[in-house]
Structures are given as structure tokens and as C-alpha cells.
Structure 1
Amino acid sequence: MLEWLQQFNPIIQALFGTLFTYALTALGAALVFFFKSINRMVLNGMLGFAAGVMIAASFWSLLSPSIDMAEDLGQIPWITASIGFLAGGAFLWIVDKILPHLHDGLKTEHREGIKTNWQRSVLLVLAITLHNIPEGLAVGVAFGAVAYGLPSASIAGAVALAIGIGLQNFPEGAAVSIPLRREGLSRKKAFMYGQASGIVEPIAGVLGAAAVISMRPILPYALAFAAGAMIYVVAEELIPEGKVEATDFSDVATIGVMLGFAVMMILDVALG
């Protein structure tokens, strides 16, 4: 598979990688055809798993290579990584304040972002869409980095990242489509909304790959930027949501984080 993928331009590789992550989002959303509701304990575990994958990917696949690449390019590694990481978090903070969205389990008056009259279902979809922006960007930047032939960037590592992001996208797809079904939408419409939340990943992936290919000096910054954006999502959204209604099973989300981290770490070390 890796040999087959290597024949393509890194931007096309990024497109393939993010189409894979999008496909798993759609596959998870398809669970709405079989279930009308989702157990809160299961949902919290899935959110925790997604958080663990993103934490591990942020270090193993993004921050660590960012530091190595900054050194190879003659930059001061800790400054480059810190600037990129904090910029990524700041970017997601701004998007979080602007993009109208609503988290599952909250009333409409608790929506975030600019005021709007959009339907509750749209706001719920946008909450998950917000998660997917840095994920697509991370995969795109990882594939774009391979173009420079640096020791810390490999096609196997980029594929491992895409697989890890895809794995955690499966439960995220279900986490948006099934609550929409509970809101009263038809199964078909809930699925369409659920899979649509992942469309931003191929877009962000292609843009990320194109950006780092055209401007090599920003590559370490871009990797750290994607890491910062993902950690912001974990701290702001996934872990808090995974603790909702967790009185009787408060450890489930935490166990999910540990498992997700371990799975992503294994993928990255074994394949990358």
C-alpha cells in the first residue's frame, strides 16, 4: 500500500488520507440506521477514546517531528514548536467564539459562537465539524512534510496518523448522527448531517499539504500548529463532554483516553 501511495503527489496523498478519515466518519454516522439512541456511558467512553487518540497524535505525529524538523532547518526548536502550538490553540479559540455551535445535551440557549437563528440540528453538527478542522489539517501537513525527505517525516508516519484519526472519527460520526435522530430527524437526514460533519477534513487536509509544500520554512510551525489546535479541542470539548452525566461511571471517559492514547502510540511507533 505504501509503495502504491508514494507514486502520487503529496497533495493527492493528503486527499486520499483525509477521504479515508471522512469515510470512517460517514461509517460511524451510518449507525443511526440501527440505533435511535446511544448509552451515555458508551458515548463518554467514545469521546474519551477520541481525546486519547488526539493527544497521542499531537505529540508522536506532530510536535516531536516539528521539533526535529526545526532543528534540521536551523531554527530554535523550542521556540518554533511553542509558537506554532500556541498559535494553533489561539486559532481554534477564535473559531470557537465565532462559529455558531451547540453541544449535545445542552439547551439551545447555551449555544456558542455568534448569535444566529439556525436550527438546533445544524448547531449540533457544527460542534463536531469544529473538531474535524484540526484533524484534517494534521493529516494534510503530515503528508506535505514527506515531500522534503526529512528523516522525521515518513509516508508510514502520515498513514499511521490518518488511520488513528480515522479510528476516532468512527465514534464521532455516531456521536452526531444518533443524537440528531433523538432530536426527531429521520434516519436518512440524521445520517446526511452526520457524514457532512467530516467533509471539512479533506478540505483542511489539501490546504494544509499545499501550504507546507509551497513554504518549507513554515513546516515545523504548521505541524506544531495542528498539534495545538487538536489539544485545544481535547481540553475544551472532548474531555468535558466525556464527563457529562458521569456520576455513575466517572472513570469511563478516563479509560477511553488511556486506550485511545495507547492505540495511537502503537500505530505511530509501529508504522511510523
Structure 2
Amino acid sequence: MSELGETATLGIVFALEIEARGLRRVLSHSQRARTPAAEQTAWRLGGARVVMEVAGIGTQRARESCNRLIDQGARWIACAGFAAALDDKARAGDVVVADSVSHIESGDGTVSCCPSLLAAIPPSGRLGYSVWRSDFVTTDTMVLSASTKRDIYARTRAAALDMESSAVGEVCACRGVPFVVIKGISDTAEQDLPIEIDVLARLPGRLSRLGYLLRCPHVWPDLWRLRKNSLAASDNLGDVLGMMLLRLFA
């Protein structure tokens, strides 16, 4: 019997498709289930359902996605994807699991993650990379410089930062839905990223992004390194999510 129940639905919010790559690999042989939206994918695991949605970057899209999944019957929510490391001990490919989340700019307070979901996360050291437990912070702007990461870490002592998790936490707190935040580290605390990454993230469609990249060959090495780190983060994140689901639904 699943810890969450035979008819349970767990929703997972991702911002980008590349973030979901690892989970798709882990669940590639699982039974698929129907979903009402094109941006959603669902599987049946042990009689329960796992529904993931690729929402897009930012708190507003994460908030809308979380509400949609809950409206469709999700009784538990996971916010998953990539994060920037703030603690300089965190390496690319490590996975950070939040004890609590807060928004830097709004100051609306801290939301705690669900203890029973946290208990299903595999312990660090068994998978060949670190699985961190720490507080987590969200910002509305992309943080690219190592100096800004250091400043945020000095103020918050959070291990990592993203652009979605506090919105998911706020929705879940308001609606009484337990949630957890699990993120893979795509860039380290000491790593500076080029401003062009922020521009790329805001461009619509592959063709416009490709055209922009062709005009900016000087950023190709940085983007190649970030892609390499992101693929490792996605794979490791998928493994951790898969083990969590196994513990919950087996």
C-alpha cells in the first residue's frame, strides 16, 4: 500500500523541459496516464498518479501551474528543476532539498516543506553526489554574478536560489496542500554567467534563440558549460525524484 494512498495524485511543477529530462528517463517504462493539458505528462505508479507540468520560468507561471494541478486533484506538490548554488560547497549536479522556502523581495515570510515528503528523499552519499537539506530562497530576477550570490548567501544562509519555489509554497500553504522543493544545481556559487543567458530565457521560440546565439559566439563556451552542468543536474534530480516516488508509492 502506498504511503500516500491508492488514489493519490502527486503533482510536479517544472519551469523548463530540460529540467524534466531526468524524470522522463526514470519513468520511461512506467504506465502513462491521460492529462487534460499539452504541457502535462502523467504516469501511474503503484495505483497512484504522478502528473508533471512544464510551466515556464518565474513565480507567476509556477503559481498558475500549481493551482491548476491542485484543481485537477493533486493532493501533494513537488516543485522541481534547476537552482543556483549560494553555498560555495555545493557542486554542479548536487541536489538541494528545501526545509523551507521564502521570497527575497516580497518578505512575505517562510513556508515549511512537508516532513513526510522530506522523509522520502534518499540520504546524501548513496548516489555519487551530494543531496543537501537547507533553507531555500526565490527571486524574481535571474541572478548571474558570483558577487550577488555571495551577498544573498550572507543575508539568508540558504544553500540555493531559484525563481519559482516560493510561489508554489505560497499556493500550497493557502490551499492546505503539502509540498516539497527538490532542485538540481546547474551553476555554482563562484560561477559568473553571461547576461546573454537572461536574454535567451526571455526569447520566444527556438528560432529566435538560435538567431540570437549566432550573433553572440563569445558566449558559446559559457553556454556549453552550463548545458553540461544542467544535464548532470537533470539526471541526478530525476534519480532523486524517482527514489522519492518509489518510497512513497511502493
TM-score w.r.t. length of structure 2: 0.31
Between Structure 1 and Structure 2, which shows a larger proportion of strand residues? 2
Between Structure 1 and Structure 2, which shows a larger proportion of helix residues? 1
Q: Which has the higher contact order (CA 8 A, sep 6+)?
A: 1
